[in-house]
Amino acid sequence: MKSSDYSTIQGRAEASFVEKRSEFIGYIKHVETNDEAVDFINEIRAMHRKATHNVYAYILREGTTSRYSDDGEPQGTAGVPVLDVLQKEGLTDVCCVVTRYFGGILLGGGGLVRAYSHSAKIAVDAAQRLIMCSCYPMNVTADYNMYGKISYILPEFEVKLLDTNFAENVTVKMLVKKDFAEPLKEKLTDITNGGVKVEQFDECFENFA
């Protein structure tokens, strides 16, 4: 994965398990701002008002922000392990909340770390991962007799096709990974002897997983 690319999740997911009669429920959601993360944390808290703890951690690309809370558990035994899982999984733009209903048996510091780490990990594993790649939207317009050649070479450049418009000419709309943009334009010019119009738009991020 290129340095500008990043890994996140789609939508939200949850998973749970029981450790010595304590129930742990891990929730994870795609968020892009601090407000979205806080809203998600508050939503889970509202769902589980009677829970003993609602521990959280989140990582955002915006401002390279990361935050966590032990929510009353001994310092370093809850929020940090959850954050550590997100970091080790290489995720960003995610918020994970782990709800605990205490079952009456103390787990100890090490037991808590393992339980919260496991809760975060099973929530991550339940989610759909996305690899967001830096890319350019591109429109390629050419005569119909060039369409076959253009279609043939596109797979070499790992493009993501969006639409093909058959009008007076053929226009292929696609997303092209950043590193492939210039080589693709050169190849298109070469195979069509300059008989192609290429429009490249502003850089964006898109899932290529």
User: Do 14 and 112 belong to one domain?
Assistant: yes
Furthest-apart CA pair in the chain: how many Å? 76
| Residue for token pair 């709800």 | 99
Using one digit for the tens of pLDDT, what is the confidence trace for 42-84? 999 999 999 999 999 999 998 889 999 999 999 999 999 999 9
pLDDT at position 51, please?
96
User: Do 114 and 150 belong to one domain?
Assistant: no
- Rounded Cα gap, residues 109 and 28, in angstroms: 24
User: Do 105 and 60 belong to one domain?
Assistant: yes
**196 — pLDDT class (breaks 50, 70, 90):** very high
User: Do 113 and 144 belong to one domain?
Assistant: no
Domain count, the chain: 2
Tell me what the mean pLDDT of segment 94-111 comes to. 94
Reply yes or no on whether the pLDDT at 1 is more than 80. no
User: Do 148 and 107 belong to one domain?
Assistant: no
Residues facing 58 on adjacent strands: 67, 95
Contact 170, 143 (CB under 8 A): yes
Tell me what the mean pLDDT of segment 113-131 comes to. 96
User: Do 118 and 159 belong to one domain?
Assistant: no
Using one digit for the tens of pLDDT, what is the confidence trace for 137-160? 999 999 999 999 999 999 999 899
pLDDT at position 83, please?
97
pLDDT at position 209, please?
63
pLDDT at position 71, please?
95
Reply yes or no on whether the pLDDT at 25 is more than 70. yes
User: Do 26 and 108 belong to one domain?
Assistant: yes
Contact 64, 92 (CB under 8 A): no
* 1, part of any domain: no
User: Do 53 and 112 belong to one domain?
Assistant: yes
What predicted TM-score, i.e. pTM, was given to this entire model?
A: 0.81
* 28, part of any domain: yes
* 187, part of any domain: yes
User: Average pLDDT over the chain, rounded to whole?
Assistant: 94
User: Do 23 and 98 belong to one domain?
Assistant: yes
Range of the domain at 50: 6-126
What DSSP string describes 83-103? HHHHHHTTB-SEEEEEEEE--
User: Do 106 and 13 belong to one domain?
Assistant: yes
